[in-house]
Amino acid sequence: MTDPENREIIDRQAITDILVEYCCALDRMDLPRLVALFTEDCTVEYGPEPALRSRGAAALGESLQRMWRWQRTSHHLSNVQIKFTANDEALAGSYVHAWHERPDGSTATIFGQYRDRLVRIDNCWRIAERRMEMNGCDSGFKVNIHPFERISAPPGWIAPDIDRKD
């Protein structure tokens, strides 16, 4: 039996591995492997439009077939933060930098975040809920992803004049 401190370290790594595997499976377009990372009754929202929302792992796999429109993709995950809410449940936040190339060679890049709720089922962690939020993108990215809500500047704050062009 593993002591609680070591169990948390093991669980953190297992959760991080699931989040990274999502990116790898998506880049390979291995949709069966990707769908297996989610619970059967998962909810996934990349954006507010119905085509960007899925209920259930099977629906997620069907929805992500839209990614075949890209010739290549490269998803990079970082800044993983995990908070355990119960022995078998955790919340995770991570940043993603995703590059996409169309068949004509044009590209689209997004900087975003995944907000996940994971559950342990049969001693395996799975994503039960995922929401993507966009921090920014280049002009080639056109998908309506949920925007990341940044804290507003304090009242009366004045921006320094450091971005001017001389």
Q: Has residue 163 been placed in a domain?
A: no
Q: Has residue 42 been placed in a domain?
A: yes
Q: Has residue 60 been placed in a domain?
A: yes
* Residue 17 CA: distances (Å) to CA of 26, 74, 83, 116, 124: 14, 17, 15, 14, 11
Q: Has residue 62 been placed in a domain?
A: yes
Q: Supply the pTM of this predicted model.
A: 0.92
Residue 1 has pLDDT above 60, yes or no: no
Q: Has residue 159 been placed in a domain?
A: no
Tally of domains in the chain: 1
d(CA 20, CA 12): 12
pLDDT at 25: 98
Full residue range of the structural domain in which residue 111 is found: 4-147
Q: How would residue 165 be classed by pLDDT, with cut points 50, 70 and 90?
A: confident
Query: Each residue of 29-88: pLDDT tens digit?
Result: 999 999 999 999 999 999 999 999 999 999 999 999 999 999 999 999 999 999 999 999
Q: How would residue 5 be classed by pLDDT, with cut points 50, 70 and 90?
A: confident
Q: Has residue 34 been placed in a domain?
A: yes
Query: Each residue of 84-142: pLDDT tens digit?
Result: 999 999 999 999 999 999 999 999 999 999 999 999 999 999 999 999 999 999 999 99
Q: Has residue 33 been placed in a domain?
A: yes
Q: Has residue 160 been placed in a domain?
A: no
User: Can you give the CATH number for the domain in which 141 is found?
Assistant: 3.10.450.50
